[in-house]
Amino acid sequence: MAKVNPEFAKELTKYGVGDFNACFNCGNCTATCSLSTNDSSFPREMVRYTTLGLEDEIKSSLKPWECYYCGECSKECPRQANPGELMMSLRRWLTAQYDWTGLSGLLYRSLTLTIAALVLVAAGVIFFARSVNFDAETLLHTGHRFEMLAIATVFLVIFVPNLLRMWYFTIVKNGVKAPLKNYSTALSELFIHMFTQKKAKDCDEKDNFRWLEHMVLVFAYLSLLFTTVFLNWFGTESLFIVVLGYVESLLIFVITAHFVSGRIKRNKALNTFSQPSDWLFVIWLLLMGLTAFVVRLFIDLNILENNIWMYLIHLTVLAQWAMIIVPFGKWTHFLYRSFGLYFARIKAMQKS
């Protein structure tokens, strides 16, 4: 028998959902959604589950990850129940359920805790810089090593166990017994969705620019990561790598500046209800692009050593990004969405 949690709707308000109780189950939203199919129909079902407090059914569902928040369903809803925002809130809530540390949930629910965590990380960076007498070479060397260590730690300690939990909730608990062959056959789906977000294109057919911008941002972000960590952008003398890093960081800055302005203007359904986690994600990504660009510029102008404060700003933004936003914030949506669509494909293969 399905377990009902009468407090679920209240709990979900902490993740951003508004008044979805006005829903009278007409189904307009599902009929409108261009990503909903006969085999995987949403968002009405998710609204219903939320109203009824069917927490386990929601936790085992991949449907919230199939929504790309084009907002068409919310536009067509006769009761202003805003199903698009409900799907977004469910994604935040699911992120908290997958996270074994419980920190994602804490940070999503409390802005005070989020600010405290950011301040703590900034204090740690300043404390460390002071302990090495603000020596530019030591700081640059440590910053580079920190990036490598952070990537390995977040991947092994946070992402691997959390993805296993997601797999357990959505595949194992649903009784899906897929052979290994299906996992390898569907692997291409994982990478296609991860790098191209191609479903976003179907979601908002009138606005392919948003999809294109998002895809360029993913490529620019991942390649800047590669350029700084593996090609040692701040230490290299290769002109090609230097220019490559400039282009990547500039792209990140320009696109995220556009995203921030969209959130300020609330010019799309996606931007109508911004939560602190949404702001943090775009602002910190913008700061990452901007500060990385300026640090490399200071190196090329040979003025970084006398202006080490600039590198400290970059290191602080980087540490906050790597220790808070990537493992416990909105960054994880990128990962869970790709795996969500991968698992959905495996489930579909099992049925057919």
| Binding region for ligand SF4 (CB under 6 A) | 23-29, 32-33, 35-36, 42-44, 47, 67-73, 77-79, 81, 83-84, 87, 203
DSSP letters spanning 156-205: IIIIHHHHHHHHIIIIITTT----HHHHHHTHHHHHHHHHH-HHHHHHTT
* Residue whose pair of structure tokens reads 């900034």 in the numeric block: 122
Least CB distance from residue 350 to ligand SF4, whole Å? Answer: 24
Residue 28 or 97 having the CB closest to ligand SF4: 28
The CA distance from 202 to 68, in Å, is 9
Residue 40 or 185 having the CB closest to ligand SF4: 40
Least CB distance from residue 47 to ligand SF4, whole Å? Answer: 5
Residue 320's nearest CA partner among 123, 131, 94 is 123
Indicate the SS3 state at residue 36.
coil
Residue 259 or 328 having the CB closest to ligand SF4: 259
Extract the tokens encoding 90: 């469910």
Least CB distance from residue 35 to ligand SF4, whole Å? Answer: 5
Least CB distance from residue 73 to ligand SF4, whole Å? Answer: 3
Least CB distance from residue 294 to ligand SF4, whole Å? Answer: 37
Q: Which amino acid is at 25?
A: N
Least CB distance from residue 343 to ligand SF4, whole Å? Answer: 18
Least CB distance from residue 52 to ligand SF4, whole Å? Answer: 13
Residue 136 or 348 having the CB closest to ligand SF4: 348
* Residue whose pair of structure tokens reads 């996270």 in the numeric block: 99
Residue 99 DSSP symbol: -
Which helix (H) or strand (E) is 284 found in, with range? helix 276-300
Residue 44 or 296 having the CB closest to ligand SF4: 44
* Residue whose pair of structure tokens reads 């990385």 in the numeric block: 292
Residue 83 or 329 having the CB closest to ligand SF4: 83
Least CB distance from residue 267 to ligand SF4, whole Å? Answer: 16
Least CB distance from residue 344 to ligand SF4, whole Å? Answer: 14
Residue 27 or 102 having the CB closest to ligand SF4: 27
Residue 62's nearest CA partner among 338, 250, 344 is 344
* Burial track 34-53 (b if 16+ CB lie within 10 A, e otherwise): ebbeeeeebbbbbbebbbbb
The CA distance from 171 to 346, in Å, is 9
Residue 287's nearest CA partner among 263, 247, 266, 257 is 257
Q: If 0-12 CB within 10 Å is exposed, 13-18 middle and 19+ buried, where does residue 148 land?
A: exposed
Residue 31 or 132 having the CB closest to ligand SF4: 31
Residue 88 or 325 having the CB closest to ligand SF4: 88
